[in-house]
Amino acid sequence: MSKRDCLVANDWICGEYVRSRSQELIDATVEHVAITAASVAIGVAVALPLALLARRWRFLAAPILGVTTVLYSIPSLAMFSLLLPFFGLSASLVVTGLVLYSLTILVRNILAGLQAVPEEAREAAKGMGYGPLRLLWEVELPLALPALLAGVRITTVSTVALTTVGAIVDYGGLGTLILDGLDTQFKAQVLTASALCVALAIAADLLLLALQRLLTPWTRAHRIRPGRFARKADAAKSVAKVAEPV
Residue pair 71/102 in contact by the 8 Å Cβ criterion: no
- The yes or no reply on residue 134 touching another protein (CB under 8 A) is no
Nearer to another protein (CB atom), residue 16 or residue 244: 244
- The yes or no reply on residue 73 touching another protein (CB under 8 A) is yes
CA 171 to chain centre: 17
- Crossing angle of helices 91-115 and 228-237, rounded to 10°: 150
Alpha helix positions (H), the chain? 3-8, 15-20, 22-56, 58-72, 76-82, 84-87, 91-115, 119-127, 132-135, 141-163, 174-183, 187-215, 218-224, 228-237
Select the span of 36-44, 112-120, 138-146, 235-243 touching another protein (CB under 8 A): 235-243
Select the span of 35-43, 109-117, 121-129, 236-244 touching another protein (CB under 8 A): 236-244
- The yes or no reply on residue 54 touching another protein (CB under 8 A) is no
Select the span of 17-25, 37-45, 159-167, 206-214 touching another protein (CB under 8 A): 159-167
Return d(Cα 12, Cα 58) in angstroms, integer: 54
Return d(Cα 197, Cα 191) in angstroms, integer: 10
Compute CA distances 11 → 8, 35, 38, 64, 228, whole Å: 8, 30, 35, 49, 56
150 phi/psi in degrees, rounded to 5: -60, -40
Nearer to another protein (CB atom), residue 149 or residue 201: 201
- DSSP 8-state code for residue 140: I
Member of 33, 38, 81, 130 binding another protein (CB under 8 A): 81
For the window 162-201, what string marks contact with another protein as x by the rule CB under 8 A?
x-xx-xx------x--xx-xx--x-x--xx-xx--xx--x
153 phi/psi in degrees, rounded to 5: -65, -50
- The yes or no reply on residue 9 touching another protein (CB under 8 A) is no
Nearer to another protein (CB atom), residue 128 or residue 206: 206
Q: How far is the CB of 7 from another protein (least distance, A)?
A: 15
Nearer to another protein (CB atom), residue 214 or residue 243: 243
Q: How far is the CB of 49 from another protein (least distance, A)?
A: 26
- The yes or no reply on residue 77 touching another protein (CB under 8 A) is yes
Select the span of 71-79, 106-114, 120-128, 139-147 touching another protein (CB under 8 A): 71-79
Contacts of 217 (CB under 8 A, 6+ apart): none
For the four alpha carbons of 7, 12, 15 and 19, in that order, the dihedral sign comes to positive
Residues making contact with another protein (CB under 8 A): 70, 73-82, 84-85, 154, 157-158, 160-162, 164-165, 167-168, 175, 178-179, 181-182, 185, 187, 190-191, 193-194, 197-198, 201-202, 205, 241-246
